């Protein structure tokens, strides 16, 4: 990215004794986030679908420090790793992953909902939901609710970080056709899911406050334009030749590296300045402005209600009861 637009997280926070869960941490900005937090002494949990890639990621991370550290500093302060299987296309897998985490981990201090897809063609998951919606929003919605009681016990100073995108500004949500059965477009679907990340962040922050559950803050963010696997399908998502145009014409000016793209995620996860902020949207290691409808109460409430119903939860119940109900789904 243009150098004067690219901010790095400058926090010196140490995470020794802290446990971090990162979805989709086997590649892209997820891997770079894991690398940074591992270098700060955290127990970093990679929640991934591809186990082989996750093991390869761990070897890469252990051998290659982030640019801010030299090898000796990195080795002396390094944390530890664990891998858990998570396929967000399957709500059963989400529940199994959560159950394993709740059983095996003594605490969870930071949850980073990072994994994402952009499907070029319309497809549904085994649960009957449009794939991009489930992977980018609904699966993370469920995982978050399931892990919240553990995070509550691990608080104060716990954080939930939802990786969104600036493309949310192009989105609207038709709550009567949230699975886009009548009007699918791959870019439309992706943008909708990224708007959902921000709406979920704001409404979850409000629900936590309303239920008097303190010590867990929620953040959403735009990482920047990063050349990750999501761009593989971009020709089909936008128009043929778009990827070539971006890569060769303006990519060098606009792109962030994966390490640069991870900085706002890291910032929201650890920076001391944002420790008392919740429900906000960030870009380039600072508060940013989300689109108008991302702040409309009716959108926040409607998405919450629809998401609960898709997960067979009653949105009319109070938040504490919803958490108890969803926890019972594990037994």
Which has more confidence, 128 or 232? 128
Q: What's residue 5's pLDDT?
A: 66
Q: What's residue 75's pLDDT?
A: 93
SS3 content of the chain, % helix, strand, coil (to 5): 50, 15, 35
Structure tokens at 73: 């500093």
Of 149, 141, 79, nearest to 113 (Cα)? 141
pTM: 0.93
Of 291, 292, 317, nearest to 304 (Cα)? 317
Average pLDDT over residues 231-236: 48
Residue in the structure block whose two tokens are 């770079």 = 32
pLDDT at 194 over 60: yes
Enzyme catalytic residues: 190
Percent of the chain with pLDDT over 90: 88
Q: Which domains, and CATH codes, for the chain?
A: 17-328 (3.40.50.720)
């Amino acid at each position: 990215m243009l150098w004067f637009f690219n901010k790095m997280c400058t926090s010196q926070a140490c995470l020794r004794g802290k446990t971090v869960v990162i979805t989709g941490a086997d590649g892209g900005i997820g891997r770079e986030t894991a690398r940074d937090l591992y270098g700060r002494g955290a127990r970093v949990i990679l929640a991934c679908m591809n186990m082989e890639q996750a093991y390869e990621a761990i070897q890469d991370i252990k051998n290659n420090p982030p640019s801010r550290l030299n090898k000796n500093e990195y080795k002396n302060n390094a944390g530890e790793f664990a891998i858990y299987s998570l396929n967000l296309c399957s709500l059963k897998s989400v529940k199994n992953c959560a159950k394993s985490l709740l059983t095996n981990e003594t605490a969870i201090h930071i949850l980073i909902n990072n994994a994402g897809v952009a499907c070029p063609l319309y497809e549904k998951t085994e649960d009957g939901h449009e794939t991009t919606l489930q992977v980018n929003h609904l699966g993370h919605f469920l995982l978050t609710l399931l892990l919240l009681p553990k995070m509550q016990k691990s608080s104060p100073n716990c954080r939930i970080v939802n990786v969104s995108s600036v493309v949310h500004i192009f989105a609207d949500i038709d709550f009567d056709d949230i699975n886009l059965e009548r009007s699918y477009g791959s870019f439309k679907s992706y943008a909708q899911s990224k708007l959902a990340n921000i709406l979920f962040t704001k409404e979850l922050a409000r629900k936590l406050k309303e239920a008097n559950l303190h010590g867990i803050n929620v953040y959403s963010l735009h990482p920047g334009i990063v050349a990750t696997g999501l761009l593989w399908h971009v020709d089909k998502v936008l128009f043929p030749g778009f990827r070539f145009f971006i890569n060769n014409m303006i990519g060098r000016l606009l792109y962030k590296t994966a390490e640069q793209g991870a900085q706002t995620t890291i910032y929201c996860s650890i920076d001391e300045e944002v420790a008392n902020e919740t429900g906000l949207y960030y870009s380039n290691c600072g508060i940013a402005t989300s689109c108008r409808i991302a702040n409309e109460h009716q959108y926040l409430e409607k998405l919450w209600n629809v998401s609960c119903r898709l997960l067979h939860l009653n949105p009319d119940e109070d938040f504490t009861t919803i958490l108890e109900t969803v926890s019972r789904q594990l037994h």
